[in-house]
Structure 1
């Protein structure tokens, strides 16, 4: 195994505005292509020394020696949820145009520790790059425990991304600071079931018509973007052989019907085509068609009618591994996040509903 020694210099903003200092950082740099680093989620390795990702929920995991840990990334890469050993998760940010190293842990016991770093926002505008971990001098990564064998893929919109989940005011606008996929029904359900989860999700996206899009549909809807490794890059296609889920949960349709101008027939046809695409990529997976908690009334009826028809037609055609599940519509009793999106408590409630359904469906005790 190669050992890398570096001394990094970077400019870090202090509490006082416009005051900066140069701090020397020394230690062992673990490069992103180290064989003991584990990745979960769609990641581009075009540049193995600076892998890229922009879907929420992408995780980097490792087991390391020593008393401290730092993360090295491109400045402005965004926000990450970090768990060290079995401690409570905490958020760190690369939200400065100059800072490229963030401290994740200090004063640990000098032994072996584990770390999980999750990209908790949809970062397609930030274009984050991971450049490695910084350990104590002379310390190394150790062979980690295997990733969970159970595998889920979540395909969705802002609900799955975690839009506004850290806000408590429904009139708040979108902000990276209040989005957090870690607290979504998808991430919580995956933790409940001790499963890996990959996420393909984008706020405002629809199955044929993005939020407030034209009647005839939006060009950058989910079926048009699903095969991308990075949402913000149409030039690199995802290799579906890299991850084969046991179950795929699709939570789309909310944006298509959220404003007037949706064509129910177009929605159905687009969903039917997309379901065929997902089945082609994952011929053995169970597929669950979800409705989200933000739908109600006529809008909910349009989506449930389409999904019920799809499940029924697939069963009639011999595909009995397509299932339906409806989230309970939110009432406000659990509060709202930004922009009337699910609150943290509402996301937890959705996970409490979906977890037992998937556990029984998959036979996961």
Structure 2
């Protein structure tokens, strides 16, 4: 799949059901249709309204007919989605989901023949969950067999960098708006496309291993089915097993411990290394056969003189010393001096580095 670094976007703001499209939206495709292809940690407890909460969760389909409408029921009205038609990744249509159930016409006047549809969640759990209520096609439209699933699988555990916070914000502007968050153009999603791998993204802006900007940490959050805050939902890890796991955490720990001094008593170097080891052991116990990559960057936890990459290296070295057969390595994304969240250009560079690394290690 060709990666296009520049994106021209048209933003769709629809705050109600557009009855004018009823003429061509006559074929109803329920969310439970087996020809729809879902990817990511998705809650299927209601098959007629699967819940998407994690960044990068997606729905794909092949269809016929000149038009397509998406039906979503958004929890808070804060989520954004990409819609791609016929693999046109240069021109995504962006849905700003209004609160409640709405219909979003995303394609019209398509030529005759088969077409492709892909919807991806740009935002993450802090923007809430969205129930997918199905599709509406033109009267003559039908669903075709779904896309062939990719054989390779990668999961990322991370924070705002992995989620994509601010990656589409102006370089000289604020990067805390949901509209500027696009997981599709993060280093993790780009790496997966570079390697033709199916992707799961288990990330949350502000999260750390020892401390977060809120009262839960990744070891308390990593196994949830729903990404909306700390909750009692549980993901069934047997449903999907990655070939590769990438962990990119410690940026928020670095800020909150060394800069903000919010963790008391303050952990010493040994405790920081041990905290990292403990989470990696948890991941290893969850995925006994996966190749684990322990990453850090590219924000200021990687600045010159920072101890944090050393903590990651020490943890991995100890784990490999304890088990010489351990399939585990480190990779670091250099700090460029840019003080805010990485923008798309930085994500592309980091994806290129990680992609080359994984091609060599996995022989992909």
Q: Pick the TM interval, shorter chain.
A: 0.7 to 0.9
Q: How far 1:219 sits from its partner (Å)?
A: 4.2
Judge conservation of contact 2:54–2:226 (CA < 8 Å) in 1. Answer: yes
**Deviation sequence 1:193-220 (CA, Å, 0-9, x none):** 1111100000000011114xxxxxx641
Q: How far 1:107 sits from its partner (Å)?
A: 1.1
Say if 1:353 and 1:67 are closer, same or farther in 2 by CA, change over 3 A. same
Q: TM-score, normalised by structure 2?
A: 0.86
Instruction: Give the match for residue 42 of structure 1.
Output: 41
| Superposed CA RMSD | 2.3
**Deviation sequence 1:69-98 (CA, Å, 0-9, x none):** 111001426211122113234132243346
CA distance in 2, matches of 1:347, 1:24: 38
SS at match of 1:204: coil
Q: Where has structure 1 moved over 3 Å in runs of 4 or more?
A: 11-14, 20-24, 296-301
Instruction: Give the match for residue 106 of structure 1.
Output: 108
Instruction: Give the match for residue 17 of structure 1.
Output: none
Query: Among residues 219, 225, 234, which one is paired with 1:223 in the alignment?
Result: 219
- How many residues align structurally? 337
Instruction: Give the match for residue 236 of structure 2.
Output: 239
Judge conservation of contact 2:248–2:296 (CA < 8 Å) in 1. Answer: yes
Query: Among residues 299, 302, 306, which one is paired with 2:307 in the alignment?
Result: 302
CA distance in 1, matches of 2:18, 2:302: 57
Matches within 5 A, 1:62-77: 62-75=61-74, 76=77
Matched, 1:267 2:285: no
SS at match of 1:235: coil
SS at match of 1:132: strand
Instruction: Give the match for residue 319 of structure 2.
Output: 314
Matches within 5 A, 1:127-146: 127-146=129-148
SS at match of 2:329: strand
Say if 1:305 and 1:32 are closer, same or farther in 2 by CA, change over 3 A. same
Unaligned 5+ runs, structure 2: 1-12
Matched, 1:326 2:328: no
Q: TM-score, normalised by structure 1?
A: 0.86
Greater share of strand: 1
CA distance in 2, matches of 1:196, 1:56: 14
SS at match of 1:129: strand
Judge conservation of contact 1:78–1:123 (CA < 8 Å) in 2. Answer: no
CA distance in 2, matches of 1:265, 1:56: 33
Say if 1:100 and 1:323 are closer, same or farther in 2 by CA, change over 3 A. same
